[in-house]
């Protein structure tokens, strides 16, 4: 395992990331040598420079929403730019903001606020101003809206919640005698019941559950953090400066994961593409992953459904994150530009049913509570997960695609392959997290 990132490695990676940006906008220009985007932010109230990291299905859904906004507001020049997902995106956004050349609005995972908020890189949002643009706290999923704050300041406008979920193959589960009279898999509660379900699927000759982790350590982190949070455990405190990992709880969770691996009840020797391919082929009863593969499986014609991840060790808490809109700090604040941006954000929120088609649970309650969303299947089946989401613990090195997920997930991944002991996995997990807490924030 690589050692956690140092300040020097962070800055070196940031310089390299500048050459990896892919522009999908209308007329933004790029200073590749300097490593910063020379955007038109602040150049006029009728131009919006918008950065996001949305590719694949997410990207196509967002482009549909952007096209609708452009149709509604032909007087506004919306420059939408897609950049490389993960650490390169957030490095670029932080450096551009520090350099005084940020976009007017950007997509940010709420779990990444811990990196940007302490450095004062985001513009606090006034509730009265939001209300003037048709957005109030009551319009959003409470858990996501609370997470959009840092030290009492609202810094983001939630777009969705995307949780770790359970997919299930209808044919395989019917063969195992697991479906009820409505053709649904009843909610699974408790470790013993989950093991019984997996053993019944295994008895049919199918893979009980597939949960990919090769080259994707975020997935084993999601599995561990879901179960550990259900058991009541916390990982970090003091914005990531202190490790509070509970050894008995963590070992209990790791022991359960190890049991599933040893019995062949979960197959983890797959990468992200391999995992969805195994399930798509009808070879697995269950599939544990984020909900973003729903369109892939629908297009394949697989008879499947989805539900929240089982409540194994306590309440039905599930690891999740949220895309949100943030307004980076600008060298010169322009109230008219802010108004134009908030109008655009409100327009995109209003199209959340398009966004929900890709699997994400709308944070915009007027859509989430609508009849149209309730009819959207299987996407609306797991919407309750948004009310019981647990976000990655606040820290500058935490959040989607972060060093915490990469290193901590690596410690759990080996156990999912049946290697090592729960105690050795805990020791690696503890050591990794302890190192991260001692690193200085690079921004």
Q: Is the dihedral of CA 435, 90, 389, 105 positive or negative?
A: positive
**304: helix, strand or coil:** strand
Tens of pLDDT, residues 295-351: 999 999 999 999 999 999 999 999 999 999 999 999 888 899 999 999 999 999 999
What is the reported pLDDT for 22? 33
Rounded to the nearest 5°, which phi and psi values hold at 243?
-90, 125
pLDDT in tens, 207-226: 999 999 999 899 999 999 99
**Cβ–Cβ < 8 Å for 225, 255:** no
Tell me the C-alpha distance between 72 and 77, whole Å: 12
Residue 313 lies in a domain: yes
CA gap 11, 239 in Å, rounded: 22
**Both 283 and 415 in a single domain?**
yes
- Point out which residues pair with 153 in neighbouring strands: 150
Of residues 62 and 334, more confidence is placed in 62
Residue 2 lies in a domain: no
Shared domain check, 47 and 187: no
Q: Are residues 151 and 31 in the same domain?
A: yes
pLDDT number for residue 443: 63
1 assigned to some structural domain: no
| Token pair recorded at residue 95 | 């450096």
CATH of the domain at 108: 3.40.190.10
* Alpha-carbon span 311 to 164, nearest angstrom: 12
Q: Are residues 367 and 312 in the same domain?
A: no
Question: Residues 111, 31: one domain?
Answer: yes
In three-state secondary structure terms, 247 is helix
122: its two tokens? 């985001």
Residue 39 has pLDDT above 60, yes or no: no
Q: Are residues 40 and 63 in the same domain?
A: yes
The pTM for the full model equals 0.90
Is 305 found in the same domain as 192? Answer: yes
Question: How confident is the model at residue 14, as a pLDDT?
Answer: 35
Query: How far, in Å, CA of 312 to CA of 66, rounded?
Result: 40
Q: What is the DSSP letter of 291?
A: G
Same domain, 405 and 331: no
Task: Note down the domain range covering 279.
Answer: 164-320+393-437
Task: Check whether 442 has a pLDDT greater than 90.
Answer: no
How far, in Å, CA of 374 to CA of 159, rounded? 18
Q: How far apart are CA 166 and CA 360, in angstroms?
A: 14
Do residues 180 and 268 both lie within one domain?
Answer: yes
Q: 3-state class of 35 per DSSP?
A: coil
Distance from C-alpha of 152 to C-alpha of 78, rounded to nearest angstrom: 31
Length of the chain (residues): 443
H-only helix segments in 86-187? 87-98, 113-116, 127-132, 142-147, 170-175
- The yes-or-no verdict on residue 176 having pLDDT over 90 is yes
> 10 pLDDT exceeds 80?
no
Q: Work out the average pLDDT over 86-110.
A: 96
Mean pLDDT of the chain: 90
Domain end point (choices 338, 360, 383) = 383
In a domain, 336, yes or no: yes
pLDDT at res. 440: 86
Instruction: For residue range 42-59, list pLDDT tens digits in order.
Output: 456 799 999 999 999 999
The rounded distance, in Å, linking the Cα atoms of 125 and 156 is 7
- Give domain status of residue 388, yes or no: no
Last residue of a domain, one of 383, 412, 427: 383
* Closest to 423 in 3D by CA, of 284, 258, 298: 258
Q: Indicate whether 3 pLDDT > 50.
A: no
Q: Is the pLDDT of residue 35 over 70?
A: no
pLDDT value at residue 19: 31
42 or 376, higher pLDDT: 376
Q: Is residue 43 part of a domain?
A: yes
Residue 101 φ then ψ, to 5°: -130, 55
> According to the model, what pLDDT value does residue 43 have?
55
Question: Does residue 442 lie within any of the structural domains?
Answer: no
3-state secondary structure of 131: helix
Cβ atoms 265, 223 nearer than 8 A: no
Query: For the chain, how many structural domains are there in total?
Result: 2
Q: Is pLDDT of 34 > 80?
A: no
Q: Are residues 102 and 152 both part of a single domain?
A: yes
The Cα diameter of the chain in Å comes to 65
Is it the case that residue 141 has pLDDT exceeding 50?
yes
Alpha-carbon gap, residue 32 to 79, rounded angstroms: 19
Domain end marker among 339, 356, 383:
383
Q: Parallel, antiparallel, or unpaired for β 318-321 and 160-169?
A: antiparallel
Same domain, 411 and 271: yes
Contact of 306 with 165, CB cutoff 8 Å: yes
Q: Is the peptide bond before 74 cis (omega within 30 degrees of 0)?
A: no
Kindly tell me if the per-residue pLDDT of 38 is higher than 90. Answer: no
- Determine, yes or no, domain membership for 443: no
Mean pLDDT of 194-206: 98
Q: What is the pLDDT of residue 29?
A: 32
30 plus 104 within the same structural domain: yes
């Amino acid at each position: 395992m690589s050692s956690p990132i140092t300040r020097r490695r962070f800055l070196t990676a940031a310089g390299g990331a500048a050459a990896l940006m892919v522009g999908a906008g209308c007329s933004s220009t790029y200073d590749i040598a300097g490593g910063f985007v020379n955007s038109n932010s602040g150049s006029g109230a009728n131009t919006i420079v918008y950065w996001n990291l949305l590719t694949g299905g997410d990207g196509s859904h967002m482009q549909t929403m952007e096209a609708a906004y452009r149709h509604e507001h032909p007087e506004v020049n919306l420059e939408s730019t897609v950049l490389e997902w993960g650490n390169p995106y957030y490095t670029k956004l932080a450096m551009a903001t520090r350099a005084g050349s940020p976009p007017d609005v950007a997509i940010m995972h709420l779990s990444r606020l811990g990196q940007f908020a302490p450095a004062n890189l985001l513009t606090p949002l006034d509730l009265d101003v939001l209300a003037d643009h048709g957005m109030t706290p009551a319009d959003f999923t409470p858990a996501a809206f609370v997470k959009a704050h840092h030290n009492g300041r609202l810094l983001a406008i939630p777009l969705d919640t995307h949780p770790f979920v359970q997919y299930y193959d209808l044919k395989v589960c019917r063969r195992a005698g697991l479906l009820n009279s409505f053709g649904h898999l009843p909610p699974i509660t408790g470790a013993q019941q989950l093991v019984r379900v997996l053993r019944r699927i295994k008895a049919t000759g199918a893979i009980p559950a597939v949960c990919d982790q090769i080259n994707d350590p975020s997935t084993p982190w999601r599995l561990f953090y879901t179960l550990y949070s259900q058991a009541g455990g916390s990982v970090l405190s003091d914005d990531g400066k202190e490790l509070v990992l509970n050894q008995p709880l963590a070992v209990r969770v790791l022991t359960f994961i190890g049991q599933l691996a040893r019995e062949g009840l979960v197959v983890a020797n797959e990468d992200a593409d391999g995992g969805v391919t195994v399930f798509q082929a009808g070879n697995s009863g269950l599939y544990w992953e984020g909900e973003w593969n729903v369109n892939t499986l629908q297009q394949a014609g697989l008879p499947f459904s989805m539900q929240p991840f089982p409540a194994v060790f306590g309440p039905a808490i599930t690891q999740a994150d949220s895309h949100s809109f943030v307004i980076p700090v600008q060298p010169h604040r322009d109230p008219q530009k802010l108004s134009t941006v908030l109008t655009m954000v409100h327009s995109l929120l209003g199209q959340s049913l398009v966004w929900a088609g890709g699997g994400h649970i709308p944070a915009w309650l007027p859509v989430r509570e609508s009849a149209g969303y309730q009819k959207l299947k299987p996407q609306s089946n797991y919407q309750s997960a948004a009310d019981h989401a647990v976000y990655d613990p606040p820290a500058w090195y935490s959040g989607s695609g972060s060093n915490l997920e990469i290193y901590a997930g690596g410690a759990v991944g080996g156990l999912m392959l049946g290697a090592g002991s729960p105690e050795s996995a805990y020791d690696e997990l503890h050591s990794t997290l302890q190192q991260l807490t001692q690193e200085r924030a690079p921004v």
